[in-house]
Amino acid sequence: MLSELCLIEVPEFLVNTQTYTLPYLILHRKSDIIERIAYANGHTTVKALCVTDSNMTAILAVLLTQDVGDVEEAAIKHLYAVSLEFRKVTLDELVRSAPIPLAEELIKMAGDRSEAQQEAKERVRVLSNIRYLFVEGR
């Protein structure tokens, strides 16, 4: 319906919005829609679509800021759920592929939330993810 409103074809809409939609589609395990985006984008696999720099940065930022017990395990499980090809890589490899853009995205996400909405627990989680990128992950 949005593509009709914007007067563009659905495949073009999917390609143009992928960086914003993929993280949440992965979070909700909507592999059928992700496959449509991969096909519209000319990628042969879901993993190939996801590992492009801007997409992976956006995906990891959303997955690593979820309010779950073991955020790393939850993140990789979400990736496994949409493509079994992710079983061939570790979360560390994905994070290390673009640590600076990921840190930027995590900081933006923390800043986008108003002070009233942002709890101390969320702030600590974002900062610990950034610390992991630059200190512990090396």
Closest CA to 137 of 60, 84, 23, 79: 60
Nearest to 78 by CA among 31, 19, 18, 29: 29
Confidence of residue 115 (pLDDT cuts 50, 70, 90): low
Indicate the range of 9-18, 45-54, 86-95, 129-138 predicted with least confidence.
Answer: 129-138
Q: Does the structure show a pLDDT above 60 at 76?
A: yes
pLDDT at 116: 46
3-state DSSP call for residue 77? helix
Length of the chain: 138
- pTM for the full model? 0.77
3-state helix vs strand vs coil in the chain, percent to 5: 75, 0, 25
Mean pLDDT of 35-39: 91
What was the pLDDT predicted at 83? 92
Cβ atoms of residues 82 and 46 within 8 Å: yes
